[in-house]
Amino acid sequence: MQGMTVAEARRALSDAFRQSGIDSPELDARILIGHALGLDHTALAAAANRTLDADQAHTLAILAERRIAREPIARIVGGKEFWGLLLRITQATLVPRPETETVVEAALAVIDAGGARTRVLRIADLGTGSGAILLALLSELPCAFGIGTDLSHDALAVARDNAIRHGLSPRAAMLACNFGAALVGGFDLVVANPPYIATGEIAVLPPDVRHDPLQALDGGHDGLAAYRAIAADVRRLIKPLGHLVLELGAGQADAVTKLLQAENLVLAPAQSDLNGIPRALTASVATMTR
């Protein structure tokens, strides 16, 4: 691509991506060229006639190869926007997915139903990864304090960094523990997007998904292991009249509903994502905890 203009390189890259079956060739080409040249969307458009030098062409060729090998764009550029927050991601973290915003919406709906967003709230995000759900909630709830847990120390370091980048670190703590095991309880809201892929299905996942850390995906033999662990502990963690909001894998709504009903939680109908898949399940503690 050396000697090509930015516009020519963009066309060449998008043709190569299209031929290799990538879903969004033009968008991916634009993002990768912008990343390689350090230019945002507007600056890239203004630079359409600039010629690529040898270093830029080399960098771009390496990035394009990674994309053609199905490494997700977010992993290549090291960031992903979630709920309007640009989050850093690394090999230790799941790439936050648009459907997980359904969990944020469901959590805010249940908070809104209980009073003003400005009240003091305690939130726990079990399996916080990049901190996506917790930081989105803290960005909307100005007097809330949250704890994100994860087994991965590397993921927690990324979540802490994301909290600092968005000015939320004074209200966000990140803790290494097994879901909520080290937490004392008394939470108004517990949220989680736990690993929910059945172990046997991981090898046949689309190539983009297989770049996520195994620990973020593997939900045990039936995909429900994390839900069982969280359900067993949730009444200890949530205070009376508190709430749990869980992300669901496709087809898991009935099974997870049963697990939570067995803990005497009151369930609302699952909220669907933009593809119509039941994605966020809200459960509430209607009475005093056991």
Ligand X SMILES: C[S@@+](CC[C@H](N)C(=O)[O-])C[C@H]1O[C@@H](n2cnc3c(N)ncnc32)[C@H](O)[C@@H]1O
Q: Is 25 in the site for ligand X (CB under 6 A)?
A: no
> Hey, what are 271's tokens?
């909220």
* Angstrom distance (rounded) from CA 248 to CA 102: 10
Q: Is 83 in the site for ligand X (CB under 6 A)?
A: no
> Hey, what are 4's tokens?
């090509």
Listed residue (111, 183, 185) closest to 143, CA to CA: 111
DSSP structure class, residue 223: S
Residue 2 Cβ vs ligand X, minimum distance, rounded to whole Å: 38
Task: Give the burial class of 115: count Cβ atoms within 10 A of its Cβ; 0-12 exposed, 13-18 middle, 19 or more buried.
Answer: exposed
Residue 133 Cβ vs ligand X, minimum distance, rounded to whole Å: 5
User: Is the CB of 193 or the CB of 257 nearer to ligand X?
Assistant: 193
Among 25, 129, 242, 278, binds ligand X (CB under 6 A): 129
Among 127, 146, 249, 278, binds ligand X (CB under 6 A): 127
Residue 65 Cβ vs ligand X, minimum distance, rounded to whole Å: 27
How many of the chain's residues bind ligand X (CB under 6 A)? 21
Q: Is 133 in the site for ligand X (CB under 6 A)?
A: yes
Within residues 173-212, the interface with ligand X by CB under 6 A covers 178-179, 193-195
Instruction: Tell me how many helices (H) and strands (E) the chain has.
Output: 11, 10
Task: Give the pairing of strands 238-247 and 266-267.
Answer: unpaired
* Angstrom distance (rounded) from CA 140 to CA 135: 9
Contact range with ligand X by CB under 6 A, out of 70-78, 112-120, 150-158, 252-260: 150-158
For ligand X, the binding residues (CB under 6 A) are 94, 96, 100, 127-130, 132-133, 149-152, 155, 178-179, 193-195, 215-216
